[in-house]
A and B are shown apart, each in its own frame.
Chain A
Amino acid sequence: MTYLPLLCQHCANAPCIKACPEDAIKRRDDGLVWIDPEECTGCGLCEEACPYDVIYMNGELGIAQKCTGCAHRVDEGALPRCAEVCPHDAIVFGDEADSVFSEDEHGATLEVYHPEYQAEPRVYWKGLPKPWIAGTVVDPVSDEVISDVAITSVDLFEDGSVTALSDEFGDFWIRRMEKGRKYRLEIRKEGYEDFLAIVTTDGDQDLGNVCLKRTR
């Protein structure tokens, strides 16, 4: 389970700005992208143009609206509302140069969501969901889970493999795989026949109970 709070990405190369015939969408010096309600005619072109689907048409007012990054609060030195009220501090607001956004802080560079849209988004993510492969290794004869088995996933087209161990519940969980790849899953345990399967990471793959056959 992952939750992904999706707000305006305040893109540096914003498709919405390009789409707006009235030039109603502006970028401030600090990078926040906002829609000027005075100039917006409610044509809806930006709504279609935004690849992240975060512009909403306000039928009552006849204008487009979206996250403003709480520019009015930021100007007063306050945090955007979502960052302030998040009890888990999952949303952090600040200057891109701040250390909280640095590689050191996270042990990895932060990612952007859907870089292929080429909108140069300025919202950075840690832990964006990636496909996983999971299951429970079971000996059906003894009706027991099998712990400490090595489960290896081998990428069929790129170099590299990942190995995980099944835990006390017989569960294994190989996380953060690449999407849309083919893997060979190998489970080897002495006294059991090898278990081999081809798994494609179209999405998360829950294999359920993986039953190992005893060797005769």
Chain B
Amino acid sequence: MSDQQKHRVVYVSHPASGLARSNFPLVCHVAGSRIVRSLPYYIPEDVKLYEIKTSRGVFTRPRKEVQMPLAYAWKQRVHSGTRVRYPLLRDDWSPDNPNPAKRGSSGYSRISWDRALDVVVGQINRIREKYGSMEPVLVQADGHGQSGYLQSLHFWGHYLFDMIHERLGWGWWTQQVRNPDSWEGYYWGAKHVWGFDSTLGEPPQDAVWDDVLEHAEMVIFSGNDPEATGLGMSGSIALEMPKWLKRAGIKIVAISPDLNYSAAVQADKWIPLKPNTDSALYLALAHTWIVEGLYDKDYVRTHTVGFEEFKRHVMGKDDGIAKTPAWAAKITGVPSHTIRALAREWASKKTSVSVYFGGPKVRGSLSHLVTRLEAYVLAMQGIGSPGRQFLRTGAPSFYKNALAQVPRFPEVDKHGIAMNPMIEYAIGKGPKSPVFIPRTLATEAILSPSIQWRGTSAALAKTEDQFNRYRFPPNDDHPGIRMVWNENGSQPGSWGYGFKWLEALQSSKIEFVLGVHPWFENDIPYSDLILPAQTHFEHQDLIAVQRSDLLAMFYQEQAIEPVGESKSDFEIHRMIGQRLGLDEVFPPADEWLRSAYEGTLASTKLGITWEEFKKKKSIVYDCPTWDEWVEIKKEHGFGPHDGGLHGFWSEAGGLETPSGKIEFVSSRIAALDPENAERPPLAKWIAHSELQGSRKSQEYPLSVVSNHPRFRFHVQGDDIDWIKEIGKVRGPDGYMYEPCWIHPSDADVRDISDGDVIMVHNERGAVLVGAVVTERIIPGAVSIDHGAKIDLVQLKGKLIDRGGCINLITPSPLEKYGVGEEIKIPEMTVSGFLAEAVKIDVSEIVASTGVGHGSTVSG
């Protein structure tokens, strides 16, 4: 008997890119309640793939679509020990005595759904009666979650409270606004140089590969790691794109503190530099170009403003410090001869810069300066001219213009797949509720109100919004946050200064914490009530493939019976809505899915009905032929091998900056926030406390680099044994520790050997990790991926994390500002900060009874 006959074969969404969008699904073989196999998807032979035709060859993608290892291992999470199977009520919580300090250490008891809904609705009513509105409820519903269109979405809390406001008239809620996390530097920085609001400060990717593959001679991977972050978000196309570069004979130069997974196998040259010092490198490149006359002077004259002031700064005419390669060598650790060689290569070869989200550069302290300086050097070399582009190796998440990065029909881009409108709550132009808090300030909103800041931090907000003043609580008699609605379960592991967030959840101000989650992990064990959410194996859904180079839709059948009494995220909110009399705005799932589907080309153009689609289960849209693509491009003003910022290059205007040009000196900052020393009108190298050489670095001399994990997706998947086996360091005590890359010279002076358990610590706390002694990290730095699963223990009387969740000890935006001071840039810092590492004796670790993750569940 073949597999097909023995097993039911269902499409299940790629687990972890989330936010209502997905990648190609897994092909799962199911027998009863057992998920036997998860296999890659093959694009059917009758689907027309694109071909990028260039003088260096023809480029396309393979039909096999492989996802990150985590995706295939995800099935182990379905029945894992950490699964929340029933509604769980914290043993020492009661409405009158919430015992907040015990959050994280209490046991839980199983209760019925009926009682659970009573508790939730009871708490909503209590808040309304006591405080007069829903404003004391902080809704955290913007996590990546599992990638379903509807069922596993993390925005339902916002929708529910929006409807409570609109239909019941109970007032606004406090909306947590997701900051542009993986784009921080570009959002708060580069936007002031070149605009690009709708692509979060990174240049749009229209047909960019046609240009790069035809013209580029060198591509700089600036902290870019397609093998890790790219594969996680974009699937295997992220691995294919670097191979295109190689096949086209383009040199890849990786600049990063770590020899990351892509650089290790794809780069022709690795230039290690100290974390968070890219600004100094860029200034020294500019210096060499100015001294040797190696930049595009015509372009600078016609396409930019403010260059003379930048030039003065580079040459040290304003501050007496010439930004020479020798000056930068001391800061960056890159030899001056290498900086000059790079400068000459960059100038003489058509060079593009490539990133894909994170990377150490974009999410460090003051990373907005780095990205502005990056934009300056790109401008000096005429960005937009053939072969000189800004390139994302993977699918862009945000589109500006009509054209995709590779040949696709614009009509398919616009109407091919369903996009859940709920995404607006997390990735919109601004908060729906006038009462809101950026995600980076949620901790402060609880622990130290009142706070004031600038900018909503909404992903698609206009640049001007960064100068608007906001505050929380909105007025002085406001009760502040009293209840937390947590659908994410990711705050302490994906955002910064996580120990403080755990402290905030234990604050006596917080009367009720609701967790909605499939797993008992991260900050979910700090909830008073946990509602059991499902994995995407347990419900039907629509799979909207958007995080790929191709667009497609799949129908996800329910693969197995729900585990325990779990319900989908959608269903949980629907049940709560029904209790509140909001039935009308929560129609059943199939109705939502049908109407979403019926708005797409599959229905409107191809005439495939919803019922037919549910049987057929998949639609992968055809791509245009090269000739059709050339025609499409012509309509949009592009020649066959034009792409990226070609339009700006040929027209020298039309950007979203006040001048319409690239601004070395930001006229908007100069007009609206000129005195901000942290973000001056002209970006400069600014030494700060989280850099080596600062006073703090005497005690904490190591810089921590923290990338998107290779084997997790943010905090997700650390409970999977298969993943632990490949991704962790087994300690002498058998515990699987989070790996920490440390250079042999740094290990030596600390008496650290490969495999030792070490404590990485700073003034914010400590985490335990397993040493990987390697030359793949620059001396003076350590690399620990973000988001390991938290596991609090005692060591010498101190509460520390054995799980190695480095985000627990990253800086808070508030550290840079005094109490009560306005937070001018509520940026997130999760990489490029200081710490020290010391070897520890594992026999001294005391698994603390009753702390967070040792909690018991009875019933």
**From B326, which residue of chain A is reached at the shortest CB distance?**
A143
Q: Are B265 and A145 in contact (CB under 8 A)?
A: no
Q: A3-B265, A85-B66 are in contact. Are A143 and B236 (CB under 8 A)?
A: no
B residues 250-273 touching A (CB-CB < 8 Å): 259, 264-265, 269
Quick check: A138 and B337 within 8 Å, CB to CB? Answer: yes
**Contact at B39–A144, with CB atoms within 8 Å?**
no
Per a CB cutoff under 8 Å, which of A78, A84, A87, A145 touches B337?
A: A145
Given contacts A138-B337, A169-B269, A171-B269, contact A87 B2 (CB under 8 A): no
Residue A28 interfacial (CB < 8 Å): no
For B66, give its contact among A86, A136, A138, A168 (CB under 8 Å): A86
Chain A 63-82 residues near chain B, CB threshold 8 A: 76-78
A59 → B minimal CB distance (Å) = 13
Contact partners of A77 in chain B: CB under 8 A: 2
A205 within 8 A of B: no
Q: Tell me the residues in window 122-153 of chain A with beta carbons closer than 8 Å to chain B beta carbons.
A: 136, 138, 143-145, 147
CB-defined contacts of B335 to chain A, threshold 8 Å: 138, 209
Chain B residues near A136 (CB-CB < 8 A): 338
Check A169/B341 contact, CB under 8 A, given A76-B3, A86-B66, A87-B239.
yes
1/0 per position for B332-353, CB-CB distance to A under 8 A?
0001111011101100000000
Q: Is A121 an interface residue (CB 8 A)?
A: no
In angstroms, Cα B341 to Cα A147, docked, is 10
Q: A-side binding surface: helix, strand, loop or mixed?
A: loop
Q: Is the beta-carbon distance between B66 and A87 smaller than 8 angstroms?
A: yes
B326 / chain A contacts, CB cutoff of 8 Å: 143
Residues in B neighbouring A76, C-beta threshold 8 A: 2-3
B236 near A168 (CB under 8 angstroms)? no
Interface check B285, CB cutoff 8 A: no
Asked if A170 and B341 sit within 8 Å, CB to CB, the answer is yes
Q: For the complex, give the distance between the alpha carbons of A77 and B39 in Å.
A: 15
Given contact pairs A87-B231, A143-B336, A1 touches B40 in the complex (Cβ within 8 A): no
Q: Is A88 an interface residue (CB 8 A)?
A: yes
Smallest CB–CB gap between B240 and chain A, Å? 8
**Are A88 and B239 in contact, with the CB atoms below 8 A?**
yes
In the assembled complex, the Cα of A78 lies from the Cα of B36 at a distance in Å of: 15
Q: What's the minimum C-beta distance from B263 to chain A, rounded to whole angstroms?
A: 8
Report if B50 contacts A (CB, 8 A): no
Find chain A residues with CB under 8 A from B388 CB.
none
- Chain B, residue nearest A1 (CB): B264
**Cα(A169)–Cα(B259), bound, Å:** 17
Q: Which residue of A lies closest to B775 (CB)?
A: A206
- Fill in one digit per residue for A172-196: 1 if any B CB lies within 8 Å of its CB, else 0: 0000000000000000000000000
Complex-state Cα separation, A168 to B3, whole angstroms: 55
A138 closest partner in B (C-beta): B337
Contacts of B512 in A (CB 8 A): none
Q: Is the CB of A145 within 8 A of B338?
A: yes
Assess whether B239 is in contact with A84, with CB atoms less than 8 Å apart.
no
Which residues from chain A contact B39 at a C-beta distance below 8 Å? 84-85
* Contact pattern, B 40-73, Cβ under 8 Å of A = 1, otherwise 0: 1000000000000000000000001010000010
Q: By the criterion CB–CB under 8 Å, are B341 and A1 in contact?
A: no
Contact in complex: A168, B344 (CB < 8 Å): yes
Q: Which of A49-107 contact B (CB under 8 A)?
A: 76-78, 84-88
Looking at the assembled complex, report how far the CB atom of A178 sits from the nearest CB atom of chain B, in whole angstroms: 23
Q: Are B341 and A78 in contact (CB under 8 A)?
A: no
Q: Quick one: closest B residue to A146, CB to CB?
A: B337
Which residue on chain A has the smallest CB distance to residue B236? A87
Interface flag for B75 (CB, 8 Å): no
Least CB distance, B549 to chain A, in whole angstroms: 14
Nearest A residue (CB) for B42: A84
- The answer, yes or no, to whether B776 is at the interface (CB within 8 Å) is yes
**Residue from A87, A88, A209 with most neighbouring chain B CB atoms (10 Å):** A87
Query: Separation in Å of the A75 CB from the closest CB of chain B?
Result: 10
Q: Are A143 and B231 in contact (CB under 8 A)?
A: no
Known: A169-B269, A171-B269. A85 touches B40 (CB 8 A): yes
Q: Please give the distance in Å from B363's CB to the nearest CB on chain A.
A: 25
- Chain A's closest residue to B37 (CB) is A81
B2 closest partner in A (C-beta): A76
Tell me if B40 and A84 are in contact (CB < 8 A). yes
Write out, one digit per residue, whether chain B residues 1-21 have a CB within 8 A of any chain A CB (1) or not (0).
011000000000000000000
In the complex, chain A residues whose CB is within 8 Å of the CB of B265: 1, 3
Chain B CB within 10 A, most for which of A1, A88, A144: A1
Contact B345 A168 (CB under 8 A): yes
Is B3's CB under 8 angstroms from A78's CB?
Answer: yes
* CB closest chain-B residue, reference A73: B3
Nearest-neighbour CB distance to chain A for B785, whole angstroms, equals 18
**Within A1-39, which residues are at the interface with B (CB < 8 Å)?**
1, 3
Contact A145 B341 (CB under 8 A): yes
In Å, the complex CA distance between A122 and B345 comes to 45
Q: Note all chain B residues with C-beta closer than 8 A to A84.
A: 39-40
Is the Cβ of B231 less than 8 Å from the Cβ of A170?
A: no
Please give, as numbers and ranges, the residues of chain A lying within 8 Å of B66 by CB-CB distance.
85-87
Q: Which residue of chain B has its CB nearest to the CB of A209?
A: B335
A170/B269 contact (C-beta < 8 A), A85-B40, A87-B231 known? no
Min CB gap A88→B, angstroms: 7
A171 to B270, CA, bound (A): 11
Interfacial chain A residues near B72, Cβ < 8 Å:
85
- A72: nearest chain-B partner, CB-CB: B3
B window 230-288: CB within 8 A of A: 231, 236, 239, 259, 264-265, 269
| Bound complex: CA A84 to CA B27 (Å) | 12
With A1-B265, A84-B39, A88-B239 known as contacts, the answer to whether A168 contacts B336 (CB < 8 A) is no
- A85 and B342 alpha carbons, distance in the complex (Å): 38
Chain A residue, CB-CB nearest to B774? A1
* Nearest opposing residue in chain B for A75, CB measure: B2
Q: A86-B66, A87-B66, A143-B336 are in contact. Are A168 and B341 (CB under 8 A)?
A: yes
A33 to B239 CA separation, bound complex (whole angstroms): 33
Task: Tell me, rounded to whole Å, the shortest Cβ–Cβ distance linking B485 to chain A.
Answer: 38
How long is the Cα–Cα vector from A209 to B64 in the complex, in angstroms? Answer: 43
A93 to chain B, nearest CB (A): 14
* Cα of A170 to Cα of B776 in the assembled complex, Å: 21
Q: Which residues of B contact A147 (CB under 8 A)?
A: 341
Question: Would A144 and B337 count as touching, CB distance under 8 A?
Answer: yes
Question: Which residues of A158-174 are within 8 A (CB) of B?
Answer: 168-171
Within the complex, the shortest CB–CB distance from B147 to chain A, in Å, comes to 18
B340 touches A144 (CB 8 A): yes
Distance A1 CA – B72 CA, assembled complex (angstroms): 26
- Nearest CB of chain A from residue B611's CB, rounded to whole Å: 32
A109–B338 alpha-carbon span in the complex (Å)? 38
Contact A1 B776 (CB under 8 A): yes
Instruction: Give the chain A neighbours of B264 by CB distance below 8 A.
Output: 1, 3
Q: Which residue of A lies closest to B238 (CB)?
A: A87
Residues of B within 8 A of A138 (CB): 335, 337
Q: Which B residues are in CB contact (< 8 Å) with A171?
A: 269
Contact check, A170 vs B337: say whether CB atoms are below 8 A apart: yes
B710 to chain A, nearest CB (A): 12
Contact A1 B259 (CB under 8 A): yes
Whole-angstrom distance from the CB of A18 to the nearest CB of chain B? 29
B239: which A residues are within 8 A, CB to CB? 87-88
CB proximity of B239 to chain A, nearest CB, Å: 5
Interface centre among A3, A145, A147, by most chain B C-beta atoms within 10 angstroms, is A145
CB distance from A106 to the nearest CB of B (A): 17
**Do B340 and A169 have beta carbons less than 8 Å apart?**
no
CB neighbours of A145 from chain B (8 A): 337-338, 340-341
Q: Which residues of A contact B259 (CB under 8 A)?
A: 1
- How distant is the Cα of A144 from the Cα of B776 in the complex, in angstroms? 25
Question: Could you tell me the distance between the alpha carbons of A143 and B326 in the complex, rounded to whole angstroms?
Answer: 9
CB distance from A210 to the nearest CB of B (A): 12
Q: Are A169 and B342 in contact (CB under 8 A)?
A: yes
3 shortest interchain CB distances as A-B pairs: A1-B264, A87-B66, A87-B236
7 intermolecular pairs with C-beta atoms under 8 Å apart: A76-B2, A85-B66, A85-B72, A87-B236, A143-B337, A168-B344, A170-B341
4 A-B pairs besides A87-B64, A87-B239, A168-B345 with CB distance below 8 A are A3-B264, A77-B2, A87-B236, A143-B337
